[in-house]
Structure 1
Amino acid sequence: MNLERLERFVFLAKLKNDVGQKDINISRAAEQLHIPQPYLSKQIKQLEEELGVELFVRKPRLALTPYGKVFLREAQNLLEQVQRIKLSAQQAGHGEIGRLTVGINTSISNSLLPDTLRVFRQKFPNVHLVLQELLHEESRQRLQDRAIDVDFENLYNLQDVDDQHCLTYEVVHREPLVMVLPIDHPLAHSSQVQLQDFANEAFVLPSHNSVPALHTLIRMACMEAGFQPNVVQEAVWMPTVLALVAGELGVALLPANVMNLQRRGVAYRKLQGQSPVFQIAIAWRRDNPSKILSNFLNVVRAVVRR
């Protein structure tokens, strides 16, 4: 069915109400549509022939038939639906509706994620963000398999590991490591500490199997400070590491974002000198054309620049 004919039928049928006239005036309708009256009459006749019913009676004056009144209601509904479809297509093309699946981890959740979510939802309220908490060994594979659209990951995990050469990334967050001490530790009340001060301490480390990049960074930092850490326990999740420190199993060296976790029984202390730096990158497939993804990346960049 020709949409132009529908639109002109509706315009003609409603014109008398719009201009306050008693009768439907096809000449006025043609004038306002900027088309010749015979062409408008032909279009209405073609529509009637297509439907097999008369929409207007012509004598003694032009008026809607009972069929025409029913058809007018349905035609208006259809045209409104067409407008909604057009709007949806335009919004989708601008990345304003749809969904994006985002891989996250504890570090990004404690740092950039809250501001990113707030700004993105303000700008694109009709985009549904699906957040998936992932460990490093599954996040990259899910990204390569298109199971997720974008992933926040430790920079170390993204170097020389993309066998398919299909991923790209950029660093979005850098932060120092801080010491986490039991609240009654002798150095807990010092404003700053040195890493070598803990050479003889027991350490609680993030699990090598779950977060190998952070685990390796911590070990390397200790080695550069002149000692091998005495690891008495490993844990997968940051809250678990904090709980073990609070229970006085040992001390921990963690990214500064952990200070956003309020845990009774622990103290956070900055390291003197040049502290090891933990870096988070955002990764995505090079061939992902999604406008939503592009919008999300721009929001992350804007949050980073603040």
Structure 2
Amino acid sequence: MMNLERLERFVFLATLKNEAGQKDINMSRAAEQLHIPQPYLSKQIKQLEEELEVELFVRKPRLELTLYGKVFLTDAQRLLEQVERIEMSAKQVNQGEIGQLVVGISTSVSNGLLPDILRVFRQRFPNVNLRLQELVSEDSRQRLQDRTLDVDFENLYNLQDVDDRHFLTYEVVKQESLVMVLPKEHPLADQPQVQLSDFAAEPFVLPACDRVPGLHTMIRMACLEAGFHPKVAQEAAWMTSILSLVAGEIGVTLLPANVMNLQRTGVVYRKISGQLPVFQIAMTWRRDNQSKILSNFLNVVREVSRG
């Protein structure tokens, strides 16, 4: 394998210029600028010539490149530039500046923190490819276990069994209240604030129990604490579908406050008086994932979530 130090010193010597800016191949001056003895530099050049089995320099009457030396100089410069790019890429990979991160997202984080997370992360790490995938909690758990997903955002209520799985850890990044979602023509739609108990007799549209179990359970528990069991008229998996059903007057619903970022014709959002469960969004990842890219991503999320 070719010695890179010899190659670098050959290029330095061959491209050395004098005080007037003209090429002047001078072994003594090159050694002085490299802070090495001249005999050692001469030996390295000789060793490089022996390795290549050609002469790179004509030494009399003055030091000049041979025809092969001129050709080899161009190749050597290209090679050293490639080595520099390789070293830079390795450094960027080590610092988490190049690569890919697979991120599981939910509707709630998409409606809230996600745009700012993406903006800040891409500004700082433009060469990292973020692969965003919409997943439900059970799918994301399996993907995290299989290492086909690096980090996921989901409702904290879904994460109560994290310790039972042993391989996950999580961190809360957002807390928000629930809001009442009503059809635009609902009798209470003109009220700035409502009580949950006012809807005891109303049909409800709930997030699907099998797809969004945490939020589904949270809404049922809120209704029970208000003194009634919700009358479920319909369930739907996605927030946009739930809003469409409410707009179509199929029922009312409770959703996290981030839903107010969705301007859906035919629905209104109202604050609810009294104590309600707090909706918490957490990011989840494997405890043993030591990826620097993941670490950078988590830090950006923490920064954005702090506002």
Fold-level match, TM-score > 0.5?
A: yes
Q: Is the 8 A contact 2:162 2:169 kept in 1?
A: no
Other-structure match for 2:56: 55
Other-structure match for 1:198: 199
Residue type of the partner of 1:68? G
Query: Could you state the TM-score of these two structures normalised by the residue count of structure 1?
Result: 0.97
Q: Is the 8 A contact 1:23 1:61 kept in 2?
A: no
Residue type of the partner of 2:241? T
Other-structure match for 1:181: 182
Structure 1 residues 21 and 242: CA distance shift in structure 2, 3 A: closer
Superposition deviation, residue 275 in structure 1: 2.5
Residue type of the partner of 1:202? P
Partner Cα separation in structure 2 for residue 158 and residue 9 of structure 1: 61
Residue type of the partner of 2:7? L
Residue type of the partner of 2:27? I
Residue type of the partner of 2:234? Q
Q: Is the 8 A contact 1:203 1:233 kept in 2?
A: yes
Other-structure match for 2:268: 267
How big is the alpha-carbon RMSD for the aligned residues of Structure 1 and Structure 2?
1.3
Report the more deviating stretch, 11-20 or 39-48: 11-20
Deviation string, structure 1 residues 42-94 (Cα, Å, up to 9, x no partner) = 10010011011111111121111111111101110111111111111112221
Deviation string, structure 1 residues 158-212 (Cα, Å, up to 9, x no partner) = 1124544111111111111111000000111100000000001010001001001
Structure 1 residues 106 and 22: CA distance shift in structure 2, 3 A: closer
Superposition deviation, residue 22 in structure 1: 5.9
Matches within 5 A, 1:13-52: 13-16=14-17, 20-21=21-22, 23-52=24-53
Other-structure match for 1:126: 127
Deviation string, structure 1 residues 206-229 (Cα, Å, up to 9, x no partner) = 100100110000001001000011
Structure 1 residues 153 and 42: CA distance shift in structure 2, 3 A: same
Partner Cα separation in structure 1 for residue 60 and residue 226 of structure 2: 100
Residue type of the partner of 2:133? Q
Other-structure match for 2:83: 82
Structure 1 residues 108 and 249: CA distance shift in structure 2, 3 A: same
Extract unaligned runs of 5+ from structure 2.
none
Matches within 5 A, 1:1-306: 1-16=2-17, 20-21=21-22, 23-161=24-162, 163-306=164-307
| SS of alignment partner, residue 148 of structure 1 | coil
Superposition deviation, residue 21 in structure 1: 4.7
| SS of alignment partner, residue 15 of structure 1 | coil
Partner Cα separation in structure 2 for residue 159 and residue 254 of structure 1: 20
Superposition deviation, residue 125 in structure 1: 1.4
Question: Matched residues, percent identical?
Answer: 76
| SS of alignment partner, residue 17 of structure 2 | helix
Q: Is the 8 A contact 2:16 2:23 kept in 1?
A: no
| SS of alignment partner, residue 7 of structure 1 | helix
Residue type of the partner of 1:47? L
Q: Is the 8 A contact 2:15 2:23 kept in 1?
A: no
Structure 1 residues 164 and 241: CA distance shift in structure 2, 3 A: closer
Extract unaligned runs of 5+ from structure 1.
none
Partner Cα separation in structure 1 for residue 250 and residue 18 of structure 2: 82
| SS of alignment partner, residue 112 of structure 2 | coil
Partner Cα separation in structure 1 for residue 161 and residue 23 of structure 2: 78
Partner Cα separation in structure 2 for residue 17 and residue 103 of structure 1: 59
Superposition deviation, residue 232 in structure 1: 0.6
Q: Is the 8 A contact 2:8 2:80 kept in 1?
A: yes
Superposition deviation, residue 277 in structure 1: 1.3
Report the more deviating stretch, 267-276 or 43-52: 267-276
> Structure 1 runs of 4+ off > 2 angstroms?
16-23, 161-164
Residue type of the partner of 1:247? G
| SS of alignment partner, residue 246 of structure 2 | helix
Structure 1 residues 5 and 174: CA distance shift in structure 2, 3 A: same
Structure 1 residues 162 and 132: CA distance shift in structure 2, 3 A: farther
Partner Cα separation in structure 2 for residue 131 and residue 282 of structure 1: 14
Partner Cα separation in structure 1 for residue 22 and residue 44 of structure 2: 22
Partner Cα separation in structure 2 for residue 67 and residue 231 of structure 1: 85
